[in-house]
């Protein structure tokens, strides 16, 4: 099979027939063998009934229905598990992603050798203050931390070599950072394609402003797991040791000052009356806790079943 199109959706009943017809037209025109996998993420409208109807009309249409709303990442994860195409295309169901981009994305994967191609909605039709400006700030931060020079990492329109989506795990809300996950898994041939952005035709956006806050938190999580996920002691142990050392030096300094004052017969307050003593003690306690945290992290990692889970690209 040439292409699998994975489409997670939530309450997009009005757009599904038009989206299906558009994808089918593109596939038939280019002679691709394909499947369309709709992942119904607990919709409360008629989305699932429409998917079942489309499947009766077109055997290439397949559907998964969640019992409740889990989110976009679980939808993509389950869709990726079912996908059989050599190239996997993801897009949103709201008609803002154009299926006419599929041939260009397919060519970049199959002929130009990319592992992953991310869409770039260079010209957007969203609100400038509510989406465009926050998106630019968010993407600038993501480029800085991930090292990937992508202008629109959160674009739903992407193309993947099959091996990529079978080798990564999309969980939580990590769908925003699939290129980063792919890079961490060793798929470094990541490209970008300017794609057409459509105005929303039906319904309203399902994502609020909180996605930007969550996005930053997820990005920090991915960075930390990539750097220290297999070696937590390198982070917590180092930080704890430094804090403990600073606290110890401060305690010794306070003690020396107190002892010197006593030797010289100078009246001095009790050591425990000095703010510096309590600050130093706090540093030592926090340093010890961080060190123990790193030690426990190492024990967990070394006993985790996936501790030696490595992707083997080829054998002879």
Residue 307: inside a domain, yes or no?
A: no
Residues 209 and 283 in one domain: no
Parallel, antiparallel, or unpaired: how do β-strands 87-90 and 61-65 relate? unpaired
Report yes or no on 26 lying in a domain: yes
Residue 311 included in any domain? no
Short-list 109, 114, 53, 117, CA closest to 85:
109
- C-beta separation of 101 from 119 below 8 A: yes
Q: Collect the ranges in the chain with pLDDT lower than 70.
A: 124-132, 134, 200, 203-216, 265-274, 301-316
Do 153 and 238 fall into the same domain?
no
Query: In the chain, how many domains are there?
Result: 2
Phi-psi region of 119 (alpha: psi -120 to 50; beta: other; left: phi over 0): beta
In-domain check, residue 315: no
> Are residues 85 and 204 both part of a single domain?
yes
Residue 176 is predicted with a pLDDT of: 83
For residue 311, CA distances in Å to 157, 181, 230, 232, 293 come to: 25, 13, 15, 21, 29
Greatest Cα pair distance in the chain: 98
HSE at residue 27, side-chain half, CA atoms within 13 A, is 20
Residues 259 and 214 in one domain: no
168 and 261 co-located in one domain: no
CATH number at residue 144: 3.90.550.10
CA atoms within 13 A on the CB side of 216: 11
Instruction: Give the model's pLDDT for residue 30.
Output: 97
The tokens 């490209």 sit on which residue?
Answer: 191
Do 269 and 221 fall within a single domain?
Answer: no
Residue 46 lies in a domain: yes
**Three-state SS annotation for 187-243:** CCCEEEEECCECCCCCCCCCCCCHHHHHHHHHHHHHHHHHHHCCCCHHHHHHHHHHH
Tokens of 257: 């000052």
- Write the burial class of residue 137 (CB in 10 Å: 0-12 exposed, 13-18 middle, 19+ buried): exposed
Instruction: For residues 210 and 125, state if they share a domain.
Output: yes
Residue pLDDT, tens place only, 209-264: 566 566 667 777 777 777 777 778 888 888 888 888 988 888 888 778 777 777 77
Last residue of a domain, one of 177, 208, 227: 227
- Same domain? For 123 and 220 the reply is yes
CA distances from 147 to 74, 88, 117, 237 (A): 25, 24, 16, 26
Tell whether 217 and 293 lie within a shared domain: no
What residues have CB less than 8 Å from 166, skipping those under 6 apart?
80
Q: Which of 175, 204, 227 lies at the terminal end of a domain, its last residue? A: 227
Say whether both 268 and 150 belong to one domain.
no
Contact partners, residue 251, CB within 8 Å, separation at least 6: 277, 280, 281, 284
Tell me which of 175, 193, 227 is where a domain ends. 227
Q: What integer pLDDT is reported at residue 170 of this predicted model?
A: 86
Parent domain of 294:
233-302
Partner residues linked to 190 by β-bridges: 116
Q: What is the reported pLDDT for 273?
A: 66
Residues 45, 107 share a domain: yes
Do 159 and 252 lie in one domain? The reply is no
pLDDT at 195: 92
Question: What pLDDT score was predicted for residue 87?
Answer: 97
Sign, CA dihedral 14-17-18-19, equals positive
């Amino acid at each position: 099979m040439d292409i699998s199109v994975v489409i997670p959706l939530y309450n997009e009943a009005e757009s599904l027939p038009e989206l299906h017809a558009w994808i089918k037209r593109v596939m038939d025109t280019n002679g691709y063998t394909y499947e369309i996998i709709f992942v119904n993420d607990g919709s409360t409208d008629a989305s699932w009934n429409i998917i079942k109807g489309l499947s009766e009309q077109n055997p290439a249409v397949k559907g998964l229905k969640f019992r409740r709303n889990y989110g976009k990442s679980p939808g993509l994860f389950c869709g990726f598990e079912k996908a059989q195409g050599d190239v996997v295309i993801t897009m949103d169901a709201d008609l803002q992603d154009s299926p006419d981009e599929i041939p260009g994305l397919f060519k970049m994967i199959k002929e130009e050798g990319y592992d992953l191609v991310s869409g770039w909605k260079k010209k957007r039709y969203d609100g400038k203050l509510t989406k465009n400006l926050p998106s630019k700030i968010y993407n600038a931060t993501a480029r800085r931390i991930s090292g990937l020079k992508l202008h629109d990492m959160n674009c739903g329109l992407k193309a993947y070599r099959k091996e990529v989506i079978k080798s990564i795990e999309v969980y939580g809300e990590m769908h925003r950072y699939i290129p980063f996950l792919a890079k961490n898994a060793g798929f470094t041939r990541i490209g970008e394609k300017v794609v057409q952005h459509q105005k929303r035709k039906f319904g309203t956006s399902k994502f609020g402003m909180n996605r930007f806050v969550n996005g930053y938190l997820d990005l920090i999580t991915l960075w930390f797991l990539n750097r220290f996920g297999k070696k937590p002691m390198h982070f917590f142990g180092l930080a704890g040791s430094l804090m403990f050392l600073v606290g110890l030096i401060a305690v010794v300094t306070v003690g020396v000052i107190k002892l010197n004052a006593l030797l010289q017969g100078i009246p001095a307050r009790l050591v425990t009356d000095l703010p510096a003593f309590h600050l130093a003690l706090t540093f030592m306690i926090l340093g010890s806790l961080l060190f123990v945290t790193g030690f426990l992290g190492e024990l967990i990692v070394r006993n985790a079943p996936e501790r030696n889970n490595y992707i083997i690209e080829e054998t002879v």
